[in-house]
A and B are shown apart, each in its own frame.
Chain A
């Protein structure tokens, strides 16, 4: 089993993504004025993109 596919590593990665996603979705809710369903959907997608970039960036800087 690769070091990146151990259950522990997968769990850590999921946790990191989820934490970033939650923080960025909250940031989106703070930025907007009126909240409706479409706004939530768009905000969740934007936060997901941000979370993926955050993890990719951290790994790119760490990995040497």
Chain B
């Protein structure tokens, strides 16, 4: 029973991580990454490491997406500014 739970959590994390790598667009990557963060937190809980799970949750649920999306926005704005100047 515990083995099944471990297996489900591990498979989900492996799938989400592969999907995050396979995405091309950074914004879509950030979406998959935030799902991966929550799944990793569940995996750590299943493996009886709630401290690590909390760290992962705190960083992965909101902070990492915010940092990535702010960078994406800055780069898009720069591109738009250059196009406008031309």
Establish whether A and B are touching in the complex (CB under 8 Å).
no
Give me the interface of B with A, judged by CB distance under 8 Å.
Answer: none
